[in-house]
Amino acid sequence: MIDRGKYNLLGVFIDAVDYDSAVERIFEAAREKRGVAVSALAVHGVMTGVLDSVHRYRLNRFDLIVPDGQPVRWALNLLHGTKLNDRVYGPNLTLRVCERAEKEQAPLFFYGSTHPVLDQMRRNLLKRFPNLQIAGMEPSKFRRLTSEEALELAVRIRDSGAAVVFAGLGCPRQEMWAYEFRDPLSLPILAVGAAFPFIAGELRQAPPNLQRLGMEWFFRLCIEPKRLWRRYVLLNPAYVTLVAMQMAGLRNFDTVGQSPRRRVLFG
Does one domain contain both 235 and 124? no
- What letter would DSSP give residue 208? H
Asked whether the predicted pLDDT for residue 224 surpasses 80, the reply is no
Does one domain contain both 58 and 120? yes
Does one domain contain both 118 and 161? yes
Does one domain contain both 162 and 227? no
Query: At 189, is the secondary structure helix, strand, or coil?
Result: strand
Is residue 259, in this structure, part of any structural domain at all?
no
What pTM did the predictor assign?
0.93
* pLDDT reported for residue 27: 98
Does one domain contain both 143 and 98? yes
* pLDDT reported for residue 174: 96
Is residue 267, in this structure, part of any structural domain at all?
no
* pLDDT reported for residue 216: 78
* pLDDT reported for residue 46: 97
Is residue 52, in this structure, part of any structural domain at all?
yes
Does one domain contain both 16 and 122? yes
* pLDDT reported for residue 182: 96
Does one domain contain both 31 and 159? yes
* pLDDT reported for residue 23: 98
Spatial contact of 59 and 8, defined as CB atoms under 8 Å apart: no
What is the band of 222 on the pLDDT scale with cuts at 50, 70, 90? confident
Domain of residue 216 covers: 208-248
Phi and psi, residue 170, nearest 5°: 85, 150
Does one domain contain both 241 and 155? no
* pLDDT reported for residue 215: 78
Does one domain contain both 185 and 218? no
* pLDDT reported for residue 193: 78
Does one domain contain both 156 and 221? no
**Strands 64-67 and 3-9, bridge-based pairing:** unpaired
* pLDDT reported for residue 209: 79
Is residue 255, in this structure, part of any structural domain at all?
no
Is residue 123, in this structure, part of any structural domain at all?
yes
* pLDDT reported for residue 133: 98
pLDDT in tens, 140-197: 988 889 889 999 999 999 999 999 999 999 999 999 999 999 999 999 999 997 899 9
Displacement of CA 264 from its chain's centroid (Å): 18
Does one domain contain both 49 and 164? yes
pLDDT in tens, 14-47: 999 999 999 999 999 999 999 999 999 999 999 9
Is residue 99, in this structure, part of any structural domain at all?
yes
Does one domain contain both 160 and 233? no
Number of domains in the chain: 2
Is residue 262, in this structure, part of any structural domain at all?
no
